[in-house]
Amino acid sequence: MVMIPGPEKDNTIFIILGLAAIAIIAIGAYIYLKPAPQSEENPWVSGGEEALSPNATAIIVLSEKCTDCDSAARLVEKIRQDSANLGTNIVDIQTAYDSSEDGRMLIIRYNITELPALILKKEGQWDGRLLSMWVDGIGSVEDDGSLLYREVAPPYVIVESGETIGMVEAVEIVPESCEGCFDSGAFLDSLEGYPDYVHFTEVTRFNESNPGARALIEKYNITKLPVVILNPGIGAYKVSQQLQSVGSQEDDGWLVLREIPPPYYDVASATVRGRVEIILLKDGSCPDCYDAAAFSDDLANIFGMQITNRTEYDVSSPEGRALISRYAITAAPTFLVSGEASAYRGFGDFWFAKDNTKESDGWYVFRDVNYIGVVYKNINESGTG
């Protein structure tokens, strides 16, 4: 199904999911519209200057079984807001229900299979910009020139069976204490807005110690908290494709979002994972050497790391010399990252691509200075160049 854009709402929490790769969803062609080709085979395309009145009528057919099925109304509002760019001005909005004679006649006339439905009508030809957008992912051009909304966004009602599709239940399980951890509530709020418009019929929030939470943790073998569990209704939404990449579809159809971004609460160890410390080893005798602090900051930003402590030592200091000796460091500036970095997805693949190491105490030592095209100094165990 095609999602219908509406008023913008911040969706940054979904981007945090982990998914840095899943964050942008192509929903429609409201921003960039390509003109429809002028052709004798398409009699409903306007010839530009010869276009008749841009005024149009919108007919929305609703189901009395779903008062929350509002995608057709959102689409009408979007067209009205963008009327100048679409060359179409909706001046009249009519409503019919599937239980009425008018509604039934429209359903039969246009072979409508899902509700809500939207029918746009006007005298003469349609502006090519609206028509192009419409046929590229919204609906069809009927034999009488009407535009019918067919790619109906959930929730919607199947006309033949009367079943409502896209009603979603959500369960959140949160740890008793986990400062700075993933905000599952804000994430669900973001799904309710643009561009997903997920409709939640019920959201249940459990603390980890709740018996209901413990039962779900055991049932689904949940290892990280907070966690979000969604019922099969989420499958009607386009965003479910991205969510499945960070979760698992269980035998009962529920979707468990397992790959939440750190920091998170590890159920087995009862500890918070993903709070990272960084140690910077600098060389005050080398003003032209690269900035290891900036480099480590970039690394943390790439993986979305929460840095809880940052310490700096010079190679000539007692602490610096101890680090050089302990980890057999041969070049500076450099930096060390605590073992909690392993909680971040993809970090290991990046870190071990060349010569970087993970030491026996769990700390990661950056040794790839000769690969990144920067100025650095070779050092010995005394901390001198």
In tens, the pLDDT along 316-372 reads 999 999 999 999 999 999 999 999 999 999 999 999 999 999 999 999 999 999 899
The residue extents of the domains of the chain are 33-158, 166-266, 274-378
Please give the pLDDT value at position 52: 55
CB 236, CB 154: distance < 8 Å: yes
Calpha distance 230→161 (Å, rounded) = 24
List alpha helices for 163-252, DSSP H: 184-192, 211-219, 240-244
Q: Is the pLDDT of residue 2 over 80?
A: no
Please give the pLDDT value at position 129: 93
Architecture of the structural domain at 166-266: 3-Layer(aba) Sandwich (3.40)
Please give the pLDDT value at position 223: 97
Q: Is the pLDDT of residue 34 over 50?
A: no
Q: Which residue has the higher pLDDT, 25 or 299?
A: 299
Angle value at C-alpha 130, between 115 and 241, nearest 5 degrees: 55
CATH topology of domain 33-158: Glutaredoxin (3.40.30)
Q: Is the pLDDT of residue 32 over 70?
A: no
In the Cβ-directed half-sphere of 366, how many Cα atoms lie within 13 Å?
Answer: 25
* Shared fold status for 33-158 and 274-378: yes
Instruction: For the full predicted model, state whether its pTM sits above 0.85.
Output: no
When the pLDDT of each residue in the chain is averaged and rounded to a whole number, the result is 87
pLDDT-based confidence at residue 194 (cuts at 50, 70, 90): confident
Q: Is the pLDDT of residue 196 over 80?
A: yes
Q: Is the pLDDT of residue 50 over 60?
A: no
- Residue 173: its H or E element: strand 167-174
pLDDT-based confidence at residue 24 (cuts at 50, 70, 90): very low
Span 220-233, mean pLDDT?
98
Please give the pLDDT value at position 157: 98
Phi and psi at residue 76, in whole multiples of 5°? -60, -45
Calpha distance 32→48 (Å, rounded) = 18
CB atoms within 10 A of CB 201: 14
CB atoms within 10 A of CB 19: 17
Please give the pLDDT value at position 124: 87
Residue 131's alpha-carbon distances to 104, 139, 177, 347, in angstroms, are 26, 10, 53, 47
> Within its chain, how far is the Cα of 167 from the centroid?
19
pLDDT-based confidence at residue 41 (cuts at 50, 70, 90): low
pLDDT-based confidence at residue 53 (cuts at 50, 70, 90): confident
pLDDT digit string, tens, across residues 102-147? 999 999 999 999 999 999 999 889 999 999 999 999 999 999 999 9
pLDDT-based confidence at residue 380 (cuts at 50, 70, 90): low
CATH number of the domain located at residue range(s) 274-378 in this protein: 3.40.30
